[in-house]
């Protein structure tokens, strides 16, 4: 067994761990960084909003498959509402390609990568001892990016996604973010279909629930097949090319080691009102790297503003007690918010204006009552 002395060890070789490692190394070329964790080669489709005013990095740009300036919603009876945006665009990127590119960049920058699982971290007087496979690291600072456990009581975003290839054009031109015109999968939450047109004949169709209760994968697959039977031409045939599943926290999590500095979903980068973590993780990485440059110290930093965290707590109380009111909120946002404000609100950008506009269009009574609930 070999033992090495390291300045910074990052546990986890997913998007959060590799993003933090490369950003720290770009900002501090002489910093000794080691990433510990098996290669994360899962298929991972990531979609988010990016501002038009800022060009993505060449690495990120190479991983973006498609982008749109509009997106849609459908209510319980299938009536559609469309958002159009001028300052923001909705993008979808290949997460596996992004991880591979980050790993290659990390290697070029001199980041050491150990593709073994971390078995144990032991705190010492002025550092940590990390045990992983045939390696033991003595590290001054450690950041843990491993996925946390999600408590049973925490609301979860659970999804199953099928990427399908149709024999003829499917005629979808922009993303369907939420289609509520499907039978519920979970009786204690929300169910909707998310549909992403990846090409003229290729679709990603996800069945999603917001619920504290996990459901069987077959229930999601049946929901997808019913939606396809209704929304594709009756003569259309298709084949399944890929399946992706996931469970994202919409509330408190249990880190593997609460004593360590954390980043990514383990560090609270998943936004509670959506479960999505891309924007929060990248913001957290930038803040942690900037703090390290000025203080030489790594610490867990919040991904979202106080106002966003406060609004998310209220949102989750309503979702827990009155999920139908959350449906009404989403449809009010679909009808009455401009696309740019909607994107800013979900990404926690633009200050108070998107938040106040969202409060203005939201149904008032359930959210006022939620202020007094624990």
Task: Let me know if residue 339 belongs to a domain.
Answer: yes
Same domain, 287 and 313: no
Q: Which two tokens stand for residue 33?
A: 């960084």
Same domain, 230 and 257: no
**Domain holding 264: CATH number?**
3.50.50.60
Same domain, 316 and 177: no
What is residue 135's predicted lDDT score, i.e. its pLDDT? Answer: 86
Same domain, 260 and 316: no
Q: Which two tokens stand for residue 269?
A: 């980068």
Residue pair 74/47 in contact (Cβ under 8 Å)? The answer is no
How many other CB atoms sit within 10 Å of the CB of residue 197? 20
How far CA 149 is from CA of 311, 312, 316, in Å, comes to: 24, 20, 19
Positions of the chain with pLDDT lower than 50, given as ranges: none
Would you give the DSSP letter of residue 208? E
Q: Order of strands across the sheet with 45-51?
A: 45-51, 88-94, 64-68
What is residue 69's predicted lDDT score, i.e. its pLDDT? Answer: 97
Burial class of residue 373, CB neighbours in 10 A (0-12, 13-18, 19+):
exposed
Residue pair 55/67 in contact (Cβ under 8 Å)? The answer is no
Domain count, the chain: 3
Task: Let me know if residue 81 belongs to a domain.
Answer: no
- Give the closest residue to 144 by CA, choosing from 285, 32, 257, 302: 257
Same domain, 231 and 289: no
Residue pair 226/208 in contact (Cβ under 8 Å)? The answer is no
Location of structure tokens 């360590």 = 260
In angstroms, the CA 101 to CA 91 distance is 18
What is residue 42's predicted lDDT score, i.e. its pLDDT? Answer: 87
Same domain, 260 and 290: yes
Whole domain around residue 33: which residue ranges?
2-45+93-149+253-295
Work out whether the CA dihedral 203, 207, 208, 213 comes out positive or negative.
Answer: negative
How many other CB atoms sit within 10 Å of the CB of residue 113? 18
Burial class of residue 253, CB neighbours in 10 A (0-12, 13-18, 19+):
middle
Question: Residues near 28 by Cβ (< 8 Å), separated by ≥ 6?
Answer: 292, 293
Q: Which two tokens stand for residue 100?
A: 């591979």
pTM (predicted TM-score): 0.93
Q: Which two tokens stand for residue 370?
A: 């939620």
What is residue 126's predicted lDDT score, i.e. its pLDDT? Answer: 86
What is residue 373's predicted lDDT score, i.e. its pLDDT? Answer: 65
Strands 70-74 and 176-179: parallel
Task: Let me know if residue 82 belongs to a domain.
Answer: no
What is residue 177's predicted lDDT score, i.e. its pLDDT? Answer: 97
What is residue 125's predicted lDDT score, i.e. its pLDDT? Answer: 83
Same domain, 14 and 130: yes
Task: Let me know if residue 75 belongs to a domain.
Answer: no
Residue pair 308/284 in contact (Cβ under 8 Å)? The answer is no
Same domain, 173 and 310: no
Same domain, 202 and 350: no
Which residue, of 295, 326, 352, is where some domain finishes? Answer: 295
Q: What is the largest CA-CA distance in the chain?
A: 69
In angstroms, the CA 42 to CA 242 distance is 11
Alpha helices, H only, the chain? 15-27, 58-61, 95-109, 217-231, 278-295, 306-321, 323-336, 339-347, 352-361, 364-370
Same domain, 212 and 282: no
Helix (H, G, I), strand (E, B) or coil at 326: helix
> Three-state SS across 259-272?
CCEECHHHHCCCCC
What is residue 234's predicted lDDT score, i.e. its pLDDT? Answer: 75
Residue pair 151/247 in contact (Cβ under 8 Å)? The answer is no
Same domain, 17 and 121: yes
Same domain, 189 and 127: no
Task: Let me know if residue 215 belongs to a domain.
Answer: yes
Task: Let me know if residue 184 belongs to a domain.
Answer: yes
């Amino acid at each position: 067994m070999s033992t090495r002395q390291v300045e910074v060890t990052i546990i986890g070789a997913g998007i959060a761990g590799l993003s933090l490692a490369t950003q720290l190394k770009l900002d501090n070329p002489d910093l000794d960084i080691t990433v510990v964790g098996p290669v994360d080669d899962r298929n991972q489709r990531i979609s988010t909003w990016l501002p038009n005013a800022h060009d993505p990095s060449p690495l990120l740009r190479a991983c973006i498959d498609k982008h749109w300036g509009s997106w849609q919603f459908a209510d319980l009876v299938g009536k559609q509402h469309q958002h159009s945006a001028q300052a923001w665009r909705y993008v979808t990127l290949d997460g596996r390609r992004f991880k591979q590119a980050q790993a290659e960049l990390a290697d070029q920058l001199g980041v050491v990568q150990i593709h073994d699982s971390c078995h144990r971290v032991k705190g010492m007087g002025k550092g940590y001892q990390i045990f992983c496979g045939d390696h033991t690291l003595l590290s001054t600072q450690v950041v843990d990016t491993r996925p946390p456990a999600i408590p049973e009581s925490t609301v979860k975003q659970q999804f199953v996604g099928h990427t399908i290839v149709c024999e003829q054009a499917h005629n979808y031109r922009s993303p369907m973010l939420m289609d509520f015109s499907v039978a519920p999968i979970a009786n204690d939450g929300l169910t909707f279909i998310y549909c992403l047109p990846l090409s003229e004949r290729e679709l990603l169709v996800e069945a999603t629930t917001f619920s504290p209760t996990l459901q069987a994968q077959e229930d999601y697959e049946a929901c997808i097949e019913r939606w396809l039977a209704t929304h594709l031409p009756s003569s259309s045939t298709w084949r399944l090319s890929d399946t992706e599943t996931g469970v994202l926290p919409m509330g408190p999590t249990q880190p593997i080691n609460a004593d360590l500095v954390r980043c990514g979903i383990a560090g609270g980068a998943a936004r509670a009102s959506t479960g999505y973590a891309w924007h929060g993780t990248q913001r957290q990485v930038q803040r942690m790297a900037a703090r390290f440059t000025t203080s030489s110290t790594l610490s867990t930093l919040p991904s979202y503003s106080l106002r966003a965290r406060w609004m998310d707590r209220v949102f989750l109380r309503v979702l827990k007690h009155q999920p139908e009111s959350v449906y009404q909120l989403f449809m009010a946002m679909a009808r009455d918010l401009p696309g740019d404000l909607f994107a800013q609100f979900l990404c926690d950008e633009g200050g108070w204006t998107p938040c106040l506009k969202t409060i203005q269009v939201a149904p008032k009574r359930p959210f006022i009552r939620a202020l007094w609930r624990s």
